[in-house]
Amino acid sequence: MTSPGPAAVPPAVPAAVPPTPPVPLAALLAREDLGLRQIAGPAGAGTVLHGAHSSEMADPYPYLLGGELLLTAGAHIPGTAAAGTHLDDYVSRVVAAGGAALGFGVTPVHDTVPPALVAACGTHGLPLLEVPPQTTFAAVARAVWQLIERARTAELRRVTEAQQSLAAAASRPDPVPSVLRQLARRVGGRAVLYGPEGAEIAGAGSPSEADDPLAALARLLLSRAATPAAQTAARPSAGPPATAGDTTPAGVHLSAYALGAGRGFVLGVAAPRRGPGDHTIASVAAVLLSLLTGEQQSGSGAARSSALVRLLLGGAPEEVAPLLGGERWLVVHGRPQGGRTPDPVAASALGAGLGSPLVDLREDVVRVLVPAGRPPRPQPGWVLGVSADTAPAGWPAADAQAARALGRALAARTALVRHGSGAGLLDLVPADEARDHARALLAPLAGRAALVETLRAWLSLHGSWDRTAVALAVHRNTVRQRIARCAALLDADLDDPDVRMELWFALKQD
């Protein structure tokens, strides 16, 4: 029974290449243990492999996805093939299916590679490899997949490192230029931010002949975004950016990413390549820039900037507070669980969880100013102390309340502690008389902030040395020494509950 001849070659269509990182054919040829030798077709670094497949079918076209190294021992080649067009038709079908290279195993079917096959591969530009007798097709296929797995791991590592560096750049004082610099470095090209009119706002990477085509592509994307249909179908600002792409005659790949939903900013990228990993890196940068540019244009972002300027120029807090979104406020102090030190990204995440962008990172504590209408809830991974709600004039006192509440939360090993709202017996004493009494009683401790805070924490924790030490982040012996010093300066017996109650009353006025 003879093998059926190959069917007619259909019109060329783009091959559906599997979504795996390709590896150079040269890397496979460099494996000395395989002993492969290229005997026909183009040499160099241009040929890449997406996989390996072995087949003895006379027409392998239906079984190839594209990008494979096709391995065959030539069992489908009839004895008279050299005299006809069989091998030329066979090679043309492999090329039409998107095959990247052909590997021919010598023995047991053929002692040498048929010369007609060598000629056909040369004619059609298909790399032809000679597979020696001692090398199995399984070993060749395994080597290809090992190389692909290494490439996949390396690409995943590259993309992950790029994402981390872009996130870090977005938290710097000059976030937009920093993100552009990181992006240009990671893709090995140029990154440019264009404004609503198509003008370059900021750029990174060396200028090149691709700058004008890149600006034209950005303007094209801007014009598309300006149409009613595009605005109707605009994506959310946090979603994947709309994109456009092109390639210059010099082989430079151009990409443009619309930032946000109709905000009019475009990120342009010119790079020597445009692989899946490069697209992922650029997309991450586009999302970060969407958030940064959106912040500048949004009404809340402009109001916060205005509030900051007014405070710096001497404006009163009660005049500035309405610009920030509330008349009454809470101060929240947060510290990561497990003794971790918070970083800018973690601080921003805490602010987002509490529903406020007013975040301050100070050493090992994150402070967040939250409108009183958004009562904080426990946040995973954080210990929180919350002040009583207050008007802007009371922000400094609320800051101290939140700090003390955080100390109590740490000592009690609970996720959130709220400062008490006062009331009770304190309301029976006029405020000015209570303050005068407190100043007189605590006068011996004036100017000794560490002693006052230690006494306050110790009394609030019912005289527990260990819990006070945890709350203040000091050694328990330090707590004992400070309390003993307080007792000596106040000339008071701190074991007496009446003394403790009076001191607590006085400390509440502070």
Other beta carbons less than 10 A from residue 427's beta carbon: 10
Averaged over 53-70, what is the pLDDT? 93
Q: Give the pLDDT band of residue 82 (cuts 50, 70, 90).
A: low
Reply yes or no on whether the pLDDT at 15 is more than 60: no
What percent of the chain stands above pLDDT 70? 82
Residue 421's pLDDT is what?
44
DSSP characters for 351-392? Answer: HHHHT---EEEETTEEEEEEETTS-----TTEEEEEPPPB-G
Q: Does the structure show a pLDDT above 70 at 2?
A: no
pLDDT band of residue 91 (cuts 50, 70, 90) is: very high
Rounded to 5°, the CA angle 161-167-173 comes to: 130
pLDDT tens per residue across span 213-254 = 998 888 888 776 554 333 323 333 344 456 666 677 777 889
> What is the rounded average pLDDT of the residues 82-110?
89
Structure tokens belonging to residue 279: 């697209």
Tell me what the mean pLDDT of segment 22-50 comes to.
91
Task: Give the residue with greater pLDDT, 73 vs 338.
Answer: 73
**Residue 363 and residue 237: Cα distance in Å, rounded?**
32
Is the sign of the CA dihedral 104, 109, 110, 114 positive or negative?
negative
Summary mean pLDDT of the chain: 81
d(CA 159, CA 425): 62
Point out which residues pair with 77 in neighbouring strands. none
The pLDDT tens digits for 264-302 are: 688 999 998 877 788 889 988 988 888 777 644 444 566
